Every structure is written in C-alpha cells, then in structure tokens.
Amino acid sequence: MGRLSGKKAFITGGAGGIGLGIALAMAREGAKVAIADINEPLLAEAMLVAKGLDITSVHCDVSDRADVFAKIDKFVSDAGGLDILVNNAVMFHYALMTDFEPEIVDRMLNVGLKGTYWCLQAATPHLKANGGGAIINLSSIAVSSAIPNASIYTSIKGAIDALTRQQSAELGAYGIRVNAVAPGAIPTPGANSVIDAAGWQAREQKTLLKRLPTADDIGHAAVFLGSDEASTITGVTLKIDSGMTLT
C-alpha cells in the first residue's frame, strides 16, 4: 500500500518539470493523478513517461476560471472525489522592472496568481465534501532572497505565501490543510530557458549540500504534505533548497 493509496490528486502545470516530478511521485505512492496543462505536446510526452501509472492528462488553462471549474469538476466526477490539489502552474519571464510589457505582466499574474486562486475556489467545495484534504501551493526561495529581473515572478510567489497562510486559516475547520513548498534553484525546462550552465554551477556552489534539488525531491516533499503523515501540518512554506538561503 502506497502512502497516498486511494487518494485523488489534481496537479496544474503537471506536464513537465516540478509538476511532473510531483505527479510521478504521487502516482507511485498510489494516488490517482490528473496532470493539467495547456501544452499538448508536453502532455503527450508526460503520458509516455507516466506509462503504467494511474495518471491522466487534462488540457486546462488555469487563467480561465470557467475552464478551471469545468476540468476540476469533471476530474472529481470521473475519479470519485478529490483529496489533493497542487497549484504548480506558472509563467517565467525575467526583465528589468521598467521593461516589462503590460501583456507579459497580465499573463504572468493570470497564470501564477489568479490561476492559483481559481483552482482554490474550484477545489475547495469538493475537499469540503470529502471531509478534508490537502492543498499544496508552489512558492519559491525567491521570496526570501531577491533575484535580479524577477520582480513579477517574486511578487507572485510572495502573494502565494500569504495566500497559503490565509487559506489555512479559512479552511482548517473543514479538515483542509494548506501548505506550500518553496523550491530552490532546480534545472527544469522553464528555468533552463533563463539560466545557463555557468549560472547553474554558481547556484550549486551557493548551497550548503553542494548539490541542487531535483523535481523528484520536490515530489517527495509533496507526497509527505499530501499524506496522512502530515495531518497536523498547515500554513507552512517548506523550503527545499539544499540550504541555499542560509548562505
């Protein structure tokens, strides 16, 4: 029996990187998982990687509130309930504050912040009906240590930290735990688009453990937070950064 046996999990931005790492880890522990994403080719690749696991793909645009509600409702109907929501979807873009184009700012906020909020709204009634469950939001160590040219990304993640605490206060009475994980520097396709090999080496040397976390490491932490082992943990943002923010 896996640690998440019988649980149903809906994961946004689940087709690659950290999202897929979480999806695979949860499915390997017995969960029935839906990976929601807008990138159809990446979803197809993810399903090949997930062969043999109880994972389904869902095309979902988290910036579209109606689409979020429809896709979460359908998953709950098909799966027979909802136990875990993972809000992982995000858009990366780095630029000087004065150079951000309005449409980029809007898209980042619509995906990273509003998308998280729509998913919380859509999932909460199902979690209440289930008698409780777990919500896991994706924060970042960028909230703790300033990163040049990341004003919008860092603002979104800071807001998600605050939202995590707020929702834990609102939902605790219903047995719903709300936590966040704050990954350190992790080589993913999104991060690789803005960080070169020299940048990764410099980040690795800044860690206390002299190694960078992986998507699998985030997946293991998410499994714990989604499991009954974490039944009294809520309102927490867990840093998974190999000690980078302590240096």
Q: How confident is the model at residue 247 (pLDDT cuts 50, 70, 90)?
A: confident
Whole-number pLDDT of residue 187: 85
Whole-number pLDDT of residue 102: 96
Rounded to an integer, the average pLDDT of 60-79 is 98
Whole-number pLDDT of residue 192: 79
Rounded to an integer, the average pLDDT of 92-109 is 94
Lowest mean pLDDT among 9-18, 92-101, 122-131: 92-101
Whole-number pLDDT of residue 146: 80
Domain positions in the chain: 8-246
Q: Per-residue pLDDT tens for 128-156?
A: 999 999 999 999 999 988 888 999 999 99
Q: Per-residue pLDDT tens for 171-226?
A: 999 999 999 999 998 988 777 777 889 989 999 999 999 999 999 999 999 999 99
SS (H, E, C) the chain: CCCCCCCEEEEECCCCHHHHHHHHHHHHCCCEEEEEECCHHHHHHHHHHCCCCCEEEEECCCCCHHHHHHHHHHHHHHHCCCCEEEECCCCCCCCCHHHCCHHHHHHHHHHHHHHHHHHHHHHHHHHHHCCCEEEEEECCHHHCCCCCCCHHHHHHHHHHHHHHHHHHHHHHHHCEEEEEEEECCCCCHHHHCCCCHHHHHHHHHHCCCCCCCCHHHHHHHHHHHHCHHHCCCCCCEEEECCCHHHC
Mean pLDDT taken over the chain: 95
Whole-number pLDDT of residue 239: 97
Whole-number pLDDT of residue 147: 82
Could you tell me what percent of the chain has a pLDDT over 70? 100
Q: Which residues are catalytic?
A: 153
CATH 3.40.50.720 fits 8-246, yes or no: yes
**pTM confidence score:** 0.95
